[in-house]
Amino acid sequence: MSETDRGTETKVDEAESAALDLANVSDADRSAALRAVADAIEDAEERVLAANEKDVAAAEERLEAGDYTRAFVDRLTLDAAKIESIAEMVRSVAAQDDPLGETLAARRLDDALELYEVGVPIGVVATVFESRPDALVQIAALALKSGNAVILKGGSEATHSNRVLFDVVRDATCAGSSESEREGESPRDGERERPRDASATMPDGWAQLIEAREDVDTLLGMDESVDLVMPRGSSAFVQYVQDNTKIPVLGHTEGVCHVYVDRDADLGMAADVAFDAKVQYPAVCNAVETLLVHESVADDFLPGMVERYADAGVELRGDADVREIVDVDPASEADWSREYGDLVLSLKVVDSLDAAVDHVNAYGSKHTESILTEDADRAGDFMTRVDAASVFHNASTRFADGYRYGLGAEVGISTGKIHARGPVGLDGLTTYKYYLEGDGQLVASYAGENPRPFLHEEFEGEWVPGHLASDQ
Interface with a copy of itself in residues 205-264 (CB under 8 A): 227-228, 242-243, 246, 248, 250
- In the bound state with a copy of itself, the residue whose beta carbon lies nearer, of 202 and 328, is 202
Least Å distance, CB 208 to a copy of itself, is 18
Query: Of 390, 411, 415, 424, which lies in the binding site for a copy of itself, with binding defined by CB under 8 A?
Result: 390
Residues binding a copy of itself: what is the number (CB under 8 A)?
Answer: 83
Query: Of 2, 26, 186, 384, which lies in the binding site for a copy of itself, with binding defined by CB under 8 A?
Result: 384
CB 139, CB 125: distance < 8 Å: no
HSE, side-chain direction, 13 A CA sphere, residue 328: 28
Query: Of 1, 175, 320, 436, which lies in the binding site for a copy of itself, with binding defined by CB under 8 A?
Result: 436
Query: Of 203, 402, 422, 425, which lies in the binding site for a copy of itself, with binding defined by CB under 8 A?
Result: 422
Tell which positions 273-312 bind a copy of itself, by CB under 8 A: 273, 275-276, 280-281
Tell which positions 180-209 bind a copy of itself, by CB under 8 A: none
Stretch touching a copy of itself by CB under 8 A, among 46-54, 133-141, 157-165, 404-412: 404-412
454 binds a copy of itself, rule: CB under 8 A: yes
416 binds a copy of itself, rule: CB under 8 A: yes
Query: Of 59, 207, 389, 409, which lies in the binding site for a copy of itself, with binding defined by CB under 8 A?
Result: 389
φ/ψ region of 394 (left if φ > 0, alpha if ψ in -120 to 50, else beta) reads left
Least Å distance, CB 324 to a copy of itself, is 28
CB 285, CB 423: distance < 8 Å: no
Backbone angles phi and psi of 288, in degrees to 5? -75, 145
- In the bound state with a copy of itself, the residue whose beta carbon lies nearer, of 84 and 266, is 266
CB 274, CB 341: distance < 8 Å: no
Least Å distance, CB 184 to a copy of itself, is 35
Q: Which residues of 92-126 are buried (b: 16+ CB within 10 A; e: fewer)?
A: ebbebebbbeeeeebbbbbeebbbbbbbbbbbbbb
Q: Which residues of 398-435 are buried (b: 16+ CB within 10 A; e: fewer)?
A: bbbbbeeeebbbbbbbbbbeeebbbbbbbebbbeeeeb
Angle of the 27-43 helix axis to the 133-145 helix axis, nearest 10: 160
450 binds a copy of itself, rule: CB under 8 A: no
Alpha-carbon distance of 223 to 278, in angstroms, equals 39
Specify burial of residue 161 (Cβ count, 10 A radius: 0-12, 13-18, 19+): buried
CB 107, CB 133: distance < 8 Å: no
Alpha-carbon distance of 372 to 401, in angstroms, equals 20
Tell which positions 346-375 bind a copy of itself, by CB under 8 A: 361, 372-375
395 binds a copy of itself, rule: CB under 8 A: yes
446 binds a copy of itself, rule: CB under 8 A: yes
Tell which positions 69-128 bind a copy of itself, by CB under 8 A: 107, 109, 113, 115, 122-123
